[in-house]
Amino acid sequence: MYQKPKGTRDLFDKELRRLQAMNAAARDFFTRNGYEEIRTPSFEFAALFDRSIGTTTDIVEHEIYRFEVNKKTYALRPEGTASVLRAFIENKLTLPARFLYICSMYRRERPQKGRYREFQQIGIELLGENKPFFDAEIIDQGKRYLVLIGAKDFTIELNSIGCPDCRGKYREKLGSFLQNHMTDLCSDCKRRFERNFLRIFDCKKETCQRVYDEAPKITDNLCHECAEHYHKVKEYLNQFGIDYAENKKLVRGLDYYTRTVFEFKHGGLGAQDTIIAGGRYDLLMRELGGQDTPCTGWAMGPERLLLTMSEDLPVLDQKETFYIAGMGERYITKIVRLRDQIQGKGHRCLLGDPGEPIKIQVKRANKCNATYTVIYGEDEEKNGYYTVKNMQLGEQQKVLIQEFDAFLANVRGK
Ligand code: ATP
Ligand code: MG
């Protein structure tokens, strides 16, 4: 017996259908908002991620699947942004550009509920806009999408982590504060402070967090431009009618963020409570060899989000399943056309073998979870109607052939 690798999943049946419905809704919604889908390779040269995500981040230090072939080092993609920018530069695309990606990501993490080693992300990136209006706009996109698919009870946390200018001065201030608290910090944090100091705020240990509650925050130490930018983002969010909470300890686990960072959280998820995470990354394009280009974006974990939602997604295809039981092989041409008519109205439709007795076909219809079985035989042919059996109620009705289109448009199986 073979087993799938730890942290991976087989997706099928209801969960896959729900994920597909979320993807379809995302494609439809974000295209209507100007975001074009982009597909990049599922593996890249590892250097791309080392450079963009940062060598001192959890992702690059522990989570990347790296492999070497012919002395070249590759990595399964752990996130989408770096690849999108690489593709933008490499294909000489033009600004402003809006991208949507929907694909699997790979991270070697400890698997738990809502945390897998291969997982899906739906993400959007807006390249070439530096105005705070667009920070608010992409947050609004995330919120409207969640509302569209029926997600509830999420909150939005917001912060600004400034630019290298404000961070330099702030680092000194934080350093002198921490000097007196070094004994309370875990060894990870001591190391982080040296190599990637903002990320100490990400520490999960309560003893460290108690120190950081009292520590000076980057948000209160922004340079004039960053402070103004942040102020405007909040003002626009208010105008968009978006509720948010400021979280001065929100930093994000990747190196490339500047200024605005945000997370959408869900209360019912326990430790893995972030469903959307993102922010502004004005320095990354340059870092990857492109022109100076301000960018914002976010990524969502649809599998995690599904854990918070009841069985019924409003966007799920609510159409019915039909099963056609022809009574005799001479009706094949007729039932194939009937199938096309039913599918043309957006319903699912399966064919029975018209050579089989009707009883057996109806049994099969049941096994296929058909909501309706359409029976077509001699009497139906002679009198121009279909016999439609409602499988849940067990009731039959005659529907005239010329009224069948109208019937299909209005049916509700339950
Ligand atoms: P976390 O703090 O949960 O590890 P992260 O900062 O690593 O999150 P991002 O890299 O910003 O997460 O990814 C964006 C979103 O992708 C997350 O908010 C989450 O919904 C989803 N996500 C990230 N890692 C996983 C995973 N291993 N399994 C499932 N979903 C994930
Ligand atoms: Mg993570």
Determine the Cα angle at 72 with ends 68 and 74, to 5°. Answer: 60
Q: Where are the domains of the chain?
A: 13-162+223-306, 164-220, 321-410
> Quick one: pLDDT at residue 56?
76
| 353-399: pLDDT as tens digits | 999 999 999 999 999 889 999 999 999 999 999 999 999 999 999 99
pTM above 0.85, yes or no: yes
Q: What is the pLDDT of residues 197-240, one digit of tens each?
A: 898 998 889 999 999 999 999 999 999 999 999 999 999 999 99
Pick the CATH number of 321-410 from 3.90.1150.10, 3.20.20.370, 3.40.50.800, 3.90.320.10: 3.40.50.800
Of 144 and 196, the one with more pLDDT: 144
pLDDT averaged over the chain?
93
pLDDT score at 65: 97
Q: Is 154 in the pocket of ligand 1 (CB under 6 A)?
A: no
In angstroms and rounded to an integer, the radius of gyration of the C-alpha atoms of the chain is: 27
Query: At residue 71, does pLDDT exceed 90?
Result: yes
Q: Dig out the tokens for 38 from the structure.
A: 């982009």
| CATH topology agreement for domains 13-162+223-306 and 321-410 | no
Question: Mind listing the pLDDT tens digit for each residue in 314-327?
Answer: 555 567 899 999 99
Is 13-162+223-306 a domain of CATH 3.30.56.10?
no
119 lines ligand 1 (CB under 6 A): yes
Q: Is 78 in the pocket of ligand 1 (CB under 6 A)?
A: no
- Angle at alpha carbon of residue 156, lines to 126 and 150, rounded to 5°: 85
Question: Residues 9-18: what's their mean pLDDT?
Answer: 91
Q: Are 117 and 7 in contact (CB under 8 A)?
A: yes
pLDDT by residue (tens digit) across 276-318? 999 999 999 999 999 999 999 999 999 999 998 876 665 555 6
Beta bridge mates, 315: none
- Locate the ligand 1 atom nearest the alpha carbon of residue 276 and give its number: 18
Question: What per-residue confidence (pLDDT) applies to 414?
Answer: 44
Concatenated DSSP letters for 124-140?
EEEES--SHHHHHHHHH
Protein residue with least CA distance to atom 22, ligand 1: 301
* Pocket of ligand 1 contains residue 308 by CB under 6 Å: no
According to the model, what pLDDT value does residue 93 have? 97
Above 60 in pLDDT, residue 104?
yes
Q: Report the percentage of the chain scoring pLDDT > 70.
A: 97
What's the confidence (pLDDT) of residue 82? 97
> Which-ligand-closest: CA of 281?
1
* 109-138: average pLDDT: 96
Q: Is the CB of 277 under 6 A from ligand 1?
A: yes
Q: Is 106 exposed, middle or buried (0-12, 13-18, 19+ CB in 10 A)?
A: buried
